[in-house]
Amino acid sequence: MKTCYIHSVVSISAQDSFAEDGVISEIQEHADYKISAIHPQYRDFISLSQLRRMSPAVKMGVAASKKALMEAKLDQPDAIITGSGLGCMADTETFLNTLIKNDEQFLTPTAFIQSTHNTVAGQIALGLKCKAYNTTYAHGSISFESALIDAQLQIEAGEANNILVGGVDELGSEFVDYVHLVEQKQTQPIQVSLSEGATFCVLSSEKKEGAVAVLKAVETHSKIAEKNIVSEMQAFLKRNKVDASEIDAVILGINGDAFDVYYQNIEEVFPKTDLLLYKKYIGEYFTASAFAFWMGTQLIEGETLPKDFYIHKSDSKPYKNVLLYNQFKGSQHSFILLTQQ
Amino acid sequence: MKKGVAITGMGIVSAIGNSVEENLQALLTSKSGLAVSKHLQTRHKNNIKVGEVGFTNAEIAQQLQLSEDNNFTRTSLLGCLAAKQALEQARINDISTYRTGLISATTVGGMDMTENYWKQFETNPEVQKYISSHHAGDSTEKIATVLGITGYVTTISTACSSAANAIMLGARLIKAGKLDRVVVGGTDALSKFTINGFKSLMILSETNCTPFDANRNGLNLGEAAAYLVLESDEVVAAQNKSVLAYVSGYGNANDAFHQTASSKTGEGAYLAMKKALKIAGLNPSAIDYVNAHGTATQNNDLSESEALQRIFKEEIPDFSSTKAFTGHTLAAAGAVEAVFSVLALQQNSVFANLGFRTPMPETGLTPVTQLQKKKLKHVQSNSFGFGGNCSSLIFSKA
């Protein structure tokens, strides 16, 4: 079975993670219940004529994919795999609102055409003239992880050598308010902003100088009872021949809602390990956990993350094994294990 | 030739029936399910034909014994019905005996409810339960809950090739030993969103569609859900399961030509079919029947015909599109037609391409227009979608 190397990871988020040097220099505090990503100068990546037609999801996806390919020094991937929980929400809202307002008459197809979940992956393929394997996962908070699983399967089986993988979700303008509305009716609602972002990476079967990390394992579980979360996590580590004591950092998808109890259970297993969170600073969206993937590779590469991300930090030492854990409302759990090359 | 991954159960609800048996009878008697919609309320209702499932939402909810305050969308309801049938046929009672996954495909997700309540979400507490059921993954999670699957569960959304990709992924996971058993397929309910979308593209037919005909004038939309149970050789042997057919080949490629239109040369379709043949270890001449994507749009049918000619050269196998039976069921289409392909193998029957009269001048190809009985060993099934997503599957006789 081949090793799955990570040649590059880039992330557009509500923090300055897409900066030239890829380092967040200063944490931005967000107070609003919904926040946009810090959008880069898209014209550096996309022609103006194309930009005009693109929704935020497509812009973020195309720009992030270009930068990920550039950093991995790759022209053509052997597969393009994306994940998006809500797909192209902005165009969906546009088409739906026009449909309702015009009583199903006088509609133009542009927004409809661009509303499908696979628009981002399709546009990337179109831009690269890439006829390779192309697919899109849309499964809530494990949309990105589903894409990773597919990619890792192809690399391990030798079906592809270099794969572009990404997770992207856009804020839109209306549905997010409805989500917020019902969330506020919960006894303990999500305490972080609703948000958007795009994280893209190049996975490869080739060991090479400058590779950022190794994707050791990724697993998803639709349901795990709270009482079983620790044993499931331990079983995941055991399957990958790593002991909890060998984990140097754990990055958790804490968002402040009642289901944070899952993370508290995990935290107790790692009293002396570095623990990090991120949704407080980049917000919550279905592919937010892809940002943790970016953080994990930053740690392994030896980059410094702002101290705000740390729940607990021990003396500095190199990060060799990083564990990521995320869930949403007690469902769609994901474990990712990243290791040094 | 390689054997492939075993199919041990199938389930389907579509415009031509609420079970595999009902669908088969309609296919054998060439009876189309296209009609004016009964359930879906749209302004265009009387001007279009659709492939609608007969049950109302309330009837399905009752069959599934759901509580009054459930927030199942029609996409979820259809999906649960079909997936349950598939498990029954595979005689799976205890889901936890083996590592079992679920891969479901959908494009509209909960849009059937969202579009009805969009402007009430803010003010009407009674309909707010459908906010969390909008996203595509919700329908899959509900099916997983009904089936009792708690592990690997995911959703694929690559427009009209979605379910074909779900079947492909399932077969790959079984082959790689990652799962012992996986339920694969797709579900999509009719919605005003898609009807108006295809209408705005001016590819919606006002009459029954006529795939591959020179005078074809667009597609009919349909709703359906279909699922297959795939099991590893070890599970099949251990439980002495009867195998319905094998998934022997699969291929996925991108046309990389246009967001919605297919290239004139059918490049993506050609590449997907070629990859599927390679995985199956078959020469094109081994294919006995092609269940074509054949949506009856000008663009698809010409592009797909070109791809067929490029793959099969002078020896084009019997082919037909079954879209005139069910309508184009979008994300479910690949699974609906996978069920039809397995039925074709079991029945040694090539199903009719309804409505065909005149070959298109560009290719001169004529599909099978009446039910044809002949020995079938390998059936190839195509599904293509927006975003240039093209997939092709090969099913082989057990």
State how far residue A191 is from chain B, nearest Cα, in angstroms: 18
CA atoms within a 13 Å half-sphere pointing along the CA-CB vector of B148:
10
Task: List pLDDT tens digits, range A211-257.
Answer: 999 999 999 999 999 999 999 999 999 999 999 999 999 999 999 99
pLDDT, tens digit, 9 for 90 and up, residues A122-162: 999 999 999 999 999 999 999 999 999 999 999 999 999 99
Going from N- to C-terminal start, the domains of chain A cover: 5-204, 214-339
Taking alpha carbons only, the member of A23, A147, A115, A121 closest to residue A64 is A121
Instruction: Work out how many domains chain B is built from and give that number.
Output: 2
Give CA separation, A130 vs A80, A122, A124, A164, B376, in Å: 9, 9, 8, 11, 35
Place B3 in a pLDDT band, splitting at 50, 70 and 90: confident
Instruction: Specify the pairing of strand A213-223 against strand A79-83.
Output: unpaired
Q: Is residue B244 in some structural domain?
A: no
A270-306: pLDDT as tens digits = 999 999 999 999 999 999 999 999 999 999 999 999 9
In this structure, the answer to whether residues B72 and B209 fall within a common structural domain is: yes
> Which residue among A86, A100, A112 sits closest to B135, beta carbon to beta carbon?
A86
| Position B229 pLDDT exceeds 70 | yes
How high does pLDDT run on average in chain B? 97
Q: Give the mean pLDDT of A165-178.
A: 98
Chain B residues within 8 A of A152 when measuring between CB atoms: none
> Quick check: is B321 in a domain?
yes
Please report which confidence band the pLDDT of residue B21 belongs to, taking 50, 70 and 90 as the band edges: very high
pLDDT at B144: 98
Is it the case that residue B220 has pLDDT exceeding 90? yes
Using the predicted structure, report yes or no on whether residue B274 has a pLDDT greater than 60: yes
DSSP string, B133-185: T-SHHHHHHHHHHHHT--SSEEEE--GGGHHHHHHHHHHHHHHTTS-SEEEEE
Q: Which of the listed residues B239, B268, B293 is the one where a domain comes to its end? A: B239
Please name the member of A128, A143, A220 whose beta carbon is closest to the beta carbon of B152: A220
Interface residue of B254, B255, B257 to substitute, partner A, most A CBs within 10 Å: B254
The domain spanning residue B29 has which CATH number?
3.40.47.10
Chain A: give the shortest CA distance to residue B368, in Å.
31
Which of B239, B262, B281 terminates a domain? The answer is: B239
A123 touches chain B (CB under 8 A): yes
What pLDDT, on a 0 to 100 scale, did the predictor assign at position A22? 73
Instruction: Indicate whether this model's pTM tops 0.90.
Output: yes
B390 is catalytic: no
| Mean pLDDT across B6-31 | 98
- Mutate which: A94, A135, A153, A257, vs B, most B CBs within 10 A: A135
Q: Is the dihedral of CA B57, B59, B63, B67 positive or negative?
A: positive
Q: Cβ of A42 under 8 Å from any chain B Cβ?
A: no
The reply to whether B260 and B234 lie within a common domain is no
Interchain pair B197, A178: CB under 8 A: no
Q: Who among A108, A135, A175 is closest to B252 (CB)?
A: A135
Mean of the pLDDT values across residues B181-207? 97
Is B80 annotated in the active site?
no
CA-nearest residue to B141 within chain A is A222
Confidence of residue A261 (pLDDT cuts 50, 70, 90): very high
What CATH architecture applies to the domain A5-204?
Answer: 3-Layer(aba) Sandwich (3.40)
Q: Are residues B54 and B174 in the same domain?
A: yes
Q: Are residues B235 and B366 in the same domain?
A: no
Concatenating the DSSP letter of every residue in B263-317 gives PTT-HHHHHHHHHHHHHHT--GGG--EEE------HHHHHHHHHHHHHHHTT-PP
Q: Which of B80, B160, B209, B390 is catalytic?
A: B160
- Same domain flag for B177 and B127: yes
Please tell me the distance from the alpha carbon of residue B204 to that of residue B198, in angstroms, as a whole number.
Answer: 6
pLDDT digits (tens, 9 = 90+) for B306-332: 999 999 999 999 999 999 999 999 999
Size of interface A-B (CB pairs under 8 A): 199
Q: Model confidence over A45-96: pLDDT tens digits?
A: 999 999 998 999 999 999 999 999 999 999 999 999 999 999 999 999 999 9
Query: Strands A274-277 and A249-252, how do they pair?
Result: parallel
Q: With CA atoms as reference, report the closest residue to B307 among B254, B257, B266.
A: B266
| Overall average pLDDT of the A185-190 stretch | 97
User: Does A139 contact B118 at a Cβ distance shorter than 8 Å?
Assistant: no
Measured between alpha carbons, how far is B3 from B249 in angstroms, rounded to an integer? 9
**Domain residues for B145?**
5-239
ipTM of the complex: 0.98
Q: Is B293 a catalytic residue?
A: yes
